[in-house]
Structures are given as C-alpha cells and as structure tokens.
Amino acid sequence: MVDGSPIDRLALWLMALQEIKLALDEITTPPDVEAFIEEAERRADVFYEAGLGLRFPNYVPSDPRVVYAAMAYLKENGHLQGKLFCEWGCGFGIAAGMAAMLGLNAYGLEIEDDLFARATKLVTDLKLPVKILQTSYLPEGFDESEGHGGKDLICPDDRTTAGGLIAPPMYEDLDPSEVDLFFVYPWPGQEEMMMDLFSSVASHGSILLIYLGDGEIEAFMLDESDRSH
C-alpha cells in the first residue's frame, strides 16, 4: 500500500483479511469489454452533461480498465472459490457488466432511483446477464455512523430482545455469505467501514476488491481459519 492509504493494517489483522497481491501490467482489456466501457462512459457523460448528477457532486468514477484487470487477474489465477459477484453501490453498473463478461454471475446493488434505472437499462440494452437490485449495500439491521476519521459500521445484535435469532443478512434474493467476489469504490472515509461490512457478511474465502482512487486497487480475502467461533 502506498503512503497515505486510508486502510489501516492493524484493522486488517483484526478483521482477518489477507491481502492478495495483484499483478495487472500484463492484462489487457479485450475489444468487446473496451466497447462496453466506451458505451457505458458515453451514457454516464450524457447523464452528467444534462445536469442530472447534481445529487452526487463529489462523484468520481473508478477506472473501469483497472477494475477489469483486477477481476480478470483474480479469476485467471484461481483466487475465486466460485462465480458469484456483487458490486456494492453499482452506479451505472459498469463493474457488474464487466464481471458478467468474465463469466461471473453478476449482481449490482444500487439504491438511487435514477442510477438503478440507468444501470438496468445498460445491461438490458447490451444483453448482459446482470441482476441489478434496488437496495442498500447495508442489509436490514445494519447502519453506519460518523466515527473518528470516517464512517463506522453498526452491526445488529444476533438475537432479538425476546431471545430469538435474527435472520442472516440478505439482499432480496442474494445471500451475501454466498458471494465469491465483492467490488466497491467507497466514498472517502468509508474504506474501513466497507471492509468491516465485508468481514461481517461474507464467508471464509470470499474476496473484496476495493478501488481506492487514482488507479489504485487492492484485493483482500476473508480468512476465518484462525478465528474462534
């Protein structure tokens, strides 16, 4: 990690996350993926040039070619346990679309009405098998709060006040414990919160791919082998 990274290495240890070193220099973007990216970026430009993005003044898109290279590297080098992919806060659905083009079973989560509609239209128009769900990346019972230097995750108790067990977290028909690869580009100050969320809802061997801005991307595997349950 470069100096000034928002990710705390002690926090990684406490969350049982193991970093996966990514070697992306030799991975090129195939022509069909490049065409998809160009069309998605064209639609995003239309959205913002029409003044429709005023609710997201600080939005800066991830570099889709870097994201594609990282996903391809993880798949080609055998890091993925399976094919289930989930993009938290998918926006226009670009990462989810590229995941589908890599042969993954792709889901995108987007709560904003306009972005949800545009992501759905993009993958539908281009006939990509992506399921876009209009829901928050925070499952029912989870919340976030202002912490020192960033957002903190609030996790639900595992039992109700009457002593019954709380249902496991779900995103409609998507069980996050079954997801093999998550992707997120968090807002500034949300980096560790999203890693905490990953540790809370994912299963052993699942991978979080997190874009940190300026072409920087990192991958972490949840390793619960040494955790006591």
pLDDT at 47: 85
pLDDT of residue 31: 98
Q: What is the pLDDT of residue 2?
A: 39
pTM for the model:
0.88
CA geometry: angle 17, 21, 22, nearest 5 deg: 125
Q: CA 88, 89, 92, 94: dihedral to nearest 10 degrees?
A: -30
Kindly list the structural domains of the chain, giving each domain's residue range(s) and its CATH number in brackets, ordered by start: 16-157+165-222 (3.40.50.150)
Closest to 60 (Cα-Cα) out of 199, 213, 163: 213
Task: State how far the Cα of 148 lies from the Cα of 167, in Å rounded to an integer.
Answer: 30
pLDDT at 60: 65
What's the rounded Cα separation, in Å, for the pair 155 and 171?
A: 16
d(CA 110, CA 183): 13
Residue for token digits 């890693």?
Answer: 195
DSSP string, 48-89: HHTTTTTT-TT-----HHHHHHHHHHHHHTT--SSSEEEEES
Over its length of 229 residues, how does the chain's per-residue pLDDT go in tens digits? 334 455 665 555 456 899 999 999 989 999 999 999 999 999 998 888 877 655 665 566 799 999 999 999 999 999 999 999 999 999 999 999 999 999 999 999 999 999 999 999 999 999 999 999 999 999 998 998 887 777 889 988 764 444 545 678 999 999 999 999 999 999 888 999 999 999 999 999 999 999 999 999 999 999 987 554 4
Q: Are strands 84-88 and 17-20 parallel, antiparallel or unpaired?
A: unpaired
Residue 14 confidence (pLDDT) = 55
Are the CB atoms for 197 and 137 separated by under 8 Å? Answer: yes
Rounded Cα–Cα distance for residues 101 and 90 (Å): 16
**What pLDDT is recorded for position 5?**
57
Residue 80 CA to residue 206 CA, distance in Å, equals 7
Beta strand extents in the chain (DSSP E only): 17-20, 84-88, 105-109, 130-133, 143-147, 150-154, 181-184, 207-213, 216-222
